[in-house]
Amino acid sequence: MARSGGFEVAEQQQQQVVLSRQQERHYRLLAELQALVKALPSACQQRLSYTTLSELALALLDGTVFEIVQGLLEIQHLTEKNLYSQRRQLHSEHRGLKQELFHRHKEAQQCCRPHNLPLLRAAQQREMEAMEQQIREEQRMMDEKIVLELDQKVIDQQSTLEKAGCLASTSPPTLRS
C-alpha cells in the first residue's frame, strides 16, 4: 500500500513538472506573440486581443493545428505546382500550334503565284486571328478552371481547420484580418 501511494505522489509531481513546463512555454510563446504584434500597424494590433494571442500560443503548444496547417500547405503547394504545370502544358501546345500554322503559311506562300499572294495572305491572316481567338478562349477557360480549383482548395482547407477549432469564413474582410 505504501508503495502505490509513493508512486501516486511521484506521478503527481511529474505531472506538475510537465504542467509547469507547458505553462512556461505558453508564457514564452505569448510574450513572443505580443512582441510580434507590437511591430504591426495599430489597426491590426487592436484586432488581436490578449485572449486571441493566448489561444494562439496554446494552439502552437498543442501542435495539432500546426501539423494540420503544414499538411494543408503541402497539399496546396502540390496543387499549385500541378495547376501551373497544366497551364504551362497548354501554353506549350498553343506555341506548337502557332509554329505549325506559321510553317504551313510560309510553305503556301512559297508555292503561291505572285498575283494570288495578297488573297492568300488575307486568308492566312484571318486563319491566324481565328487561331489566336481560340487560344485566348482556351487560356481563359484554363484560368477559370484554375481559380475554381483553388477556391475549392480554400474551402476544403477551411473545413479541415474548422474541424480543428478554427473559424471558417468566406467574408473578404474576415479573411484579410
Average pLDDT over residues 26-42: 88
Q: Does 14 map to a domain?
A: yes
Higher-confidence residue: 71 or 21? 71
Q: Does 105 map to a domain?
A: no
Q: Does 56 map to a domain?
A: yes
Q: Does 49 map to a domain?
A: yes
Strand ranges inside the chain, DSSP E? none
Per the structure, the complete domain to which residue 4 belongs is given by 1-62
Q: Does 173 map to a domain?
A: no
Q: Model pTM?
A: 0.65
Q: How many domains is the chain built from?
A: 1
Q: With bands split at pLDDT 50, 70 and 90, how would you rate the model's confidence at 1?
A: very low
* Burial class of residue 128 (count of CB atoms within 10 Å of its CB; 0-12, 13-18, 19+): middle
pLDDT in tens, 54-96: 888 887 887 787 788 899 999 999 999 999 999 999 999 999 9
Q: What percent of the chain has pLDDT over 90?
A: 49
Average pLDDT over residues 130-141: 98
CA distance 151 to 108: 46
